Structure 1
């Protein structure tokens, strides 16, 4: 049995029919040139799809005689019966499945959540892909229901999951530590003469980062790392007043402020 197999770029039966029309003159059953060596030529087409459930590769089998090929890019073809009458069984060339792989997925993008205390908000972003059902079936394969897949299954850049956001300030009221008259902002307390007063102020929210100031009982205002007499504000926002006296009795106010608003917490201190 004589046949030759080639590979060309074609896609689907429509392309194969087009290919036949470009191969050169076709000799009819009644007028085949009776010279030379007749043979079957097998031309394998490319896959009709690059992914998904419907990829099929078709193969073209033609009867030809190489002696009538005057150009490497042209073939002289004959009706199949010309080769059959010369005892050449036609090669089998059934359609084949090909490229039956899931196509790249797509990104599913959720809504952004609330702005966090550090000026960020997040959203859920994941890749979704549809699997192939009954993959090996020639004509009945199909797409399954979408399902969550690894990020590598999506070829497009992944959308951002984090976004900057703006938030008004908020000062927390921390737990009280009763050591040397330590009071939390927003609470009342008593302190003896000569002791050191410490009041904590913790900014738990705000974007851009708020500025913190303290207003003392005598209306003096202090920013972080500033000092006035016996009072100073530490880098962490804690107000410290050393060697407390009667005139330190009163209201102390912590204020956090940014362009979106402000928050205030007060402590009433009694010197005894």
Structure 2
């Protein structure tokens, strides 16, 4: 009776407010099943819950609007996605490079998989990791190696005397000239080479000089000759016994290069005290030969220039009238006459410097 009266009252109110009684909301219980809690393994379940819903809009409503008597019991958890999990890749860090150039770095890569009943991860064969290809276990490292190549400095041969001073040259120059007693530095410079090449020197007498060592020298040479940190060879107080060919060898893992320079010790030319003599006597009408001789020099470097008593200047291999200078530097005078007596001077020029000498020519007339 009460429910009937309530329905009549509601119908009347709906009629007065212009609302169709069929549009009035109703409420009922709804069981909602959730998503699975795991994508694989042995513990996946679908949780559920009971809600009160508007039967017309399916919107959730306050539980008090649904009949408690009709509320269903919560369903049990439903198992889901109960299948073995695929393996996954475990990627370690790359180790050190195996070499300074063209090397290889390695790392550990393995497959692991969740155990049954979710008891933790264990390593498994690589074919269990099916979701992706196995990552690389190696990669290239280090720069490209380059074989050493010495810088070779081409210079013109000197045409004037060598200055009396310390000399710095490059290995690879054909010839280096220096006065005795000075310091010679032969630089070993590379155009290219990676990693930095090691340098070793071989001296004219066959002695080897390496980095960190002074060679198989006696005590005197050990003080005079050494290799600097940059690979240059330094020879202090250079002397005639140091003359010869110096060879530098550059080496790294990519190859070897060799370069050399010939060292010539030049000295101030000194005339033989007896040649030419201080006085030269000749009979008129004869041919006179006045020799010029140096005590010590490299013959190919000597230039003799004669000046006659009459002022004629002649070089080796040249002639003027009855005067000529032979290839060995000797002055020749044909058919000497009294008017050609006097002082004859000679200048010797070498890369070591210049020296002068003279002789007094006395012409004896036949009577």
* TM-score, L = length of structure 1: 0.43
Instruction: Give 1 or 2 for the bigger CA radius of gyration.
Output: 2
Higher RCO structure (Cα 8 Å, ≥6 apart): 1
